[in-house]
Amino acid sequence: MIHRHDVIIIGAGLAGSRAAVEIGKVADVAVLSKVYPSRSHSGAAQGGVAASLGNISVTDRWEFHMFDTVKGSDYLGDQDAIELMVREAPETVIEMEHWGCPFSRTEEGKIAQRKFGGHTLEFGREAALRACYSADFTGHVLLHTLHEQCLKHNVNFYSEFQVLSLIFRDGRAIGVVAWDMVHGGLHTFYGRAVMFGTGGYGRAFKITSNAHANTGDGLALVSRIGLPIQDMEFVQFHPTGLYKSGILVTEGARGEGGHLKNSEGRRFMEDYAPTLMELAPRDMVARAMQQEIDEGRGIDGEDKIHLDVSHLGEQRLMERLPQITELAMNFAGVDPRVEPIPIQPTAHYSMGGIPANENTRVTMDANRTEAVGLYAAGECSCISVHGANRLGTNSLLEALLFGRRAGKQIVEDVHDLEFPNLPPDYEDAARGEIEFIRNNRGGEKVGTLRGELQDSMMIDCGVFRTKEQLQKQKEKVAELADRFRHIQIDDNGDQFNTDLLEAIELGHLLDFSGAIVEGALLREESRGGHYRKDFPKRDDDKFLRHTLAWKRNGDWELTFEKEVVLKGVSHPGFEPKERKY
Amino acid sequence: MADTSQRSFRIFRFNPETDDKPYYQTYEIEVESWWTVLDALNEIKWFVDGTLSYRRSCRHGICGSCAMMINGLNDLACEKQIKLIRRNPITIDPLPGFEIHKDLAVDMDPFYKALKRVKPWLINNDPPPSRERIQSPEQFHLIGDGIACILCAACTSSCPSYWSDEEYLGPAALLKAYRYSFDSRDQGLGDRIDALDNRHGLWRCHKITNCFHACPKNLNPTEAISRLQRRVIEEKT
């Protein structure tokens, strides 16, 4: 079946939905989502959304937020895009409030704000209260508010459609082909503009805070048609994943005063970041924890650390952190009011993604040449405002704000973009993929291959990396990709076939995991979320550059030619310095 | 060493493409002590029988995908710890009150359509101020239940009034109507009243409170409905 709309958006999280609200007012927009929109993973974000409203830290300014974001990125973030983000943050959050988003409030009735790691006043002098929050389900209320705005503006949703391929010819996006999960069958969607808001790639790792759905689909689609993906080696390991499941315990738990303790019961962060302690940026805290574990100071000698919030008292926990209290009880079997929560680093955020500029137009090379009619925003994109490491609460901001920018840009562009013609072979790649998976009888199981990928990525491409590990992992990914050619699924039906879905997703994971490993191998330095034990220093001479990775004839080709933007739009920019807290 | 035990899962199966009628299939698997029902379903799907279909995504109780009936009660599979379930086998059915797509995945369209009927968005025709609208912490708490709802449909699916009247809005949509109508920033009760004030709306609720017992987030739609009923009567008098 063929569907024609002015604009096709893939993904209904904050970025996709925010763009859809903007576009839905003036043009015909369709949003495809692999889950019902309100089930998107943006809803799992807990702690807050950053904006220098100054409701509590009254001296807060966008320049401070910009400095923190640049420094947090370990200077790999593009400062022009960062400046736009921090300047437009207050109006973006206020707009959500006007649309009815429920925020926790100060006594005067303003939006409440709390501390979050790496956010400071006056360029690092003291912690800033900058994170606007709604208890500890900020992402949930933002997502629901936006989805309800989409309902108000009669956005066309295609829920439970899994994208398979991007139709792209001569530098121009035409549409996508997707599989109808409920009834089966291929559907082609084409239009003047295509936008990706498909989320992150945390599911490449065993211990992850990400939803099952976060299989980086947009990245695989883009790289399969010959476009590059950027900075894939930068994966944020969040310090406080629940032990074994990886489910996230919000950084807000530390923002509210929670302590990290090793097997000696000591707050070991005093050895690593004596000023900010537990509120040092996530990459540093995760490495500190991993080092404690590696040196035998994990709890019970195992790979876990304690997060203690019991001293905060029951009232404050129930008021400020109700969800994590429930999570700890349901998933770790501990009562955080009286006992510490066992935690370990968990793959949380994907800094890498589809390269795009500050107007969310996808770019195709180191010179930032724009593709026509193709846009990306949110976690699937690499604009790049997070560089090598994202600060907490900047992700909801990025998704909302660049979703909004994408919407406005597309509204501006859409009438200049002609309706493209579908090429004759528009469906071939998608049809070939579905037929291959359904008819293949090689005996390899999705669960087995995915498990081996996730285990090995965690061990050999995780918090700490070495050349030997990465070379081994490169071979492992190649072996798994080879075994995927012998995939066999049990379910050959059309109706709600999640066996087929998981095989498609595994194909995506295997595709871009090679780029993560290859980037980590060739980037012989340590920066932000990427830490090489054999190259523990940052190397600005060689690597103050973005990684671009192209898939060509089955192999990844990487360049480090794309320059980092070191100046803001109006701000002179912040010179790279050693990143200490 | 992993702490494991052997458990049986008796699962509702139905594929409308191939089956004349539904049946139960029992799977015996080894479960780890920290697993939830969703972990067990994943183990079965990934390593025993790939044809089993169900929805899941976030696996920590916020996306609302995996609501199903576990031993006769609606719950989220991802939040239900196996070690706390004493009965064996553990019986798993799809949410009642909806058509079956396949196995544990039901057709949720009627549920989402009911939601849209209550105009679930802020209605306020005053020009917005340059900054946020002021709302006190108490006013924020008043809508706390409504904003915490994850739309899993455990409540609506457990409601006998919904089973007998498919036009009934159901507790989830009414809780959403409450959340907006009791928001200090909203002026939209008048716009919602047509959808609420009829026999498929607020007055279909017979205070059976199944919704309250089914809610995995411990929210209380029954109470929200009562408050909304009073507000509608006040509005009309």
- pLDDT tens per residue, range A188-208: 999 999 999 999 999 999 999
* Measured CA angle at B123 (ends B119, B124), to 5 deg: 175
pLDDT tens digit sequence for A242-280: 999 999 998 888 888 999 999 999 999 999 998 889 988
Chain B residues touching A142 at Cβ < 8 A: none
CA separation for the pair A407, A381 (Å, rounded): 15
Residue B228: which of A214, B152, B186 has the closest Cα? B186
Position A581 pLDDT exceeds 80: no
Position A235 pLDDT exceeds 80: yes
Cβ–Cβ under 8 Å, residues B170 and B162: yes
SS (H, E, C) A393-433: CHHHHHHHHHHHHHHHHHHHHCCCCCCCCCCCCCCHHHHHH
Q: Flag whether residue B177 sits within 8 Å of chain A, measured between CB atoms.
A: no
User: Domains, chain A, ranges and CATH?
Assistant: 235-348 (3.90.700.10), 428-540 (1.20.58.100)
- Residue A375's pLDDT is 98
Q: Is residue A117 very low, low, confident or very high in pLDDT (cuts 50, 70, 90)?
A: confident
Cβ separation B63–A245 shorter than 8 A: no
- Residue A345's pLDDT is 96
Residue % of chain B over a pLDDT of 70: 99
Position A131 pLDDT exceeds 70: yes
Residue A175: which of A379, A409, A356, A423 has the closest Cα? A423
Q: Flag whether residue A17 sits within 8 Å of chain B, measured between CB atoms.
A: no
Say how many CB pairs under 8 Å bridge A and B. 169
- Residue A547's pLDDT is 98
Strand ranges inside A457-554, DSSP E: 545-552
Chain A residues touching B143 at Cβ < 8 A: 102
Q: Running DSSP on this structure, what letter comes out for residue A271?
A: G
Residue % of chain A over a pLDDT of 70: 100
- Which of B47, B115, B148 shows the shortest C-beta gap to A137? B148
Residue A73: which of A505, A295, A391, A336 has the closest Cα? A391
Q: Flag whether residue A471 sits within 8 Å of chain B, measured between CB atoms.
A: no
Query: Both tokens of residue A267?
Result: 């707050």
Closest CA of chain B from A540, distance in Å: 38
Cβ separation A496–B101 shorter than 8 A: yes
Which helix (H) or strand (E) segment holds residue A135: the answer is: none
How large is the average pLDDT for residues B192-199? 95
Average pLDDT taken over every residue of chain B: 96
CATH for B4-106, options being 3.40.50.410, 3.40.710.10, 3.30.390.50, 3.10.20.30? 3.10.20.30
Residue A14: which of A113, A109, A139, A105 has the closest Cα? A139
What are the extents of the domains in chain B? 4-106, 109-236
Which helix (H) or strand (E) segment holds residue A4: the answer is: strand A2-4
**Does ipTM come in above 0.90?**
yes
Q: Is residue B1 very low, low, confident or very high in pLDDT (cuts 50, 70, 90)?
A: very low
- Which of B47, B53, B61 shows the shortest C-beta gap to A496? B53
How large is the average pLDDT for residues A377-386? 97
Average pLDDT taken over every residue of chain A: 96
Mutate one of B29, B39, B62 to test the A interface: name it (highest A CB count within 10 A): B62
Q: Flag whether residue B62 sits within 8 Å of chain A, measured between CB atoms.
A: yes
Q: Is residue A327 very low, low, confident or very high in pLDDT (cuts 50, 70, 90)?
A: confident
- Residue A302's pLDDT is 92
pLDDT tens digit sequence for A419-452: 999 999 999 999 999 999 999 999 999 999 999 9
> Residue B49's closest chain A neighbor by CA?
A490
CA separation for the pair A126, A410 (Å, rounded): 40
Strand A193-196 and strand A7-10: the pairing is: parallel
- Residue B2's pLDDT is 61
Fold equal for B4-106 and B109-236: no
Closest CA of chain A from B124, distance in Å: 9
Angstrom distances, CA of residue A366 to CA of A227, A363, A383, A391, A522: 12, 8, 13, 25, 17
- Residue B237's pLDDT is 82
Query: Both tokens of residue A94?
Result: 């206020």
Angstrom distances, CA of residue A261 to CA of A272, A276, A342, A463, B206: 13, 15, 10, 19, 52
Q: Flag whether residue B132 sits within 8 Å of chain A, measured between CB atoms.
A: yes
Q: Flag whether residue A320 sits within 8 Å of chain B, measured between CB atoms.
A: no
Which helix (H) or strand (E) segment holds residue A314: the answer is: helix A314-320
Residue A86: which of A409, A377, A358 has the closest Cα? A358
Chain A residues touching B130 at Cβ < 8 A: 94
Residue A26: which of A163, A155, A178, A118 has the closest Cα? A155
Residue A570 CB burial class (10 angstroms; 0-12, 13-18, ≥19): exposed
> Residue B116's closest chain A neighbor by CA?
A151
Q: Flag whether residue A98 sits within 8 Å of chain B, measured between CB atoms.
A: yes
Q: Flag whether residue B230 sits within 8 Å of chain A, measured between CB atoms.
A: no
How large is the average pLDDT for residues A203-215? 97
Q: Which residues pair with B145 in a beta bridge?
A: none
Chain B residues touching A151 at Cβ < 8 A: 115-116, 120-121
> Residue A101's closest chain B neighbor by CA?
B122
Q: What are phi and psi of A284, to 5 degrees?
A: -70, -40
Strand ranges inside B14-66, DSSP E: 23-32
**A435-460 exposure pattern, b = at least 16 Cβ within 10 A, e = fewer:** eebbebeeebbbbebbebbbebbbeb
Residue A82: which of A453, A440, A567, A456 has the closest Cα? A567
Rg of chain B, C-alpha, whole Å: 20
Q: Running DSSP on this structure, what letter comes out for residue A374?
A: E
How large is the average pLDDT for residues A408-421? 96
How large is the average pLDDT for residues B74-94? 95
Residue A481 CB burial class (10 angstroms; 0-12, 13-18, ≥19): middle
- Complete edge-to-edge strand list for the sheet that includes strand A49-50: A49-50, A126-132, A113-121
Q: Who's near A434: CB < 8 A, 6+ residues apart?
A: A164, A179, A186, A500
pLDDT tens digit sequence for A223-232: 999 999 999 9
pLDDT tens digit sequence for A62-95: 999 999 999 999 999 999 999 999 999 999 999 9
pLDDT tens digit sequence for B96-134: 999 999 999 999 999 999 999 999 999 999 999 999 999
Mutate one of A101, A145, A498 to test the B interface: name it (highest B CB count within 10 A): A498
> Residue A106's closest chain B neighbor by CA?
B137
Cβ separation B34–A332 shorter than 8 A: yes
Read off the amino acid at residue A75.
Y
**B112-136 exposure pattern, b = at least 16 Cβ within 10 A, e = fewer:** bebbbbbbbbbbbeeeeeeebbebe
Position B18 pLDDT exceeds 70: yes
Mention the CATH class of domain B109-236.
mainly alpha
Asked about A282 being catalytic, the answer comes back as yes
> Residue A46's closest chain B neighbor by CA?
B62
Angstrom distances, CA of residue A562 to CA of A78, A91, A228, A231, A385: 11, 31, 12, 10, 15
Q: What is the pTM of this model?
A: 0.96
CA separation for the pair A454, A459 (Å, rounded): 9
Q: Flag whether residue B116 sits within 8 Å of chain A, measured between CB atoms.
A: yes
How large is the average pLDDT for residues A373-386? 98
Which member of A87, A282, A361, A579 is catalytic? A282
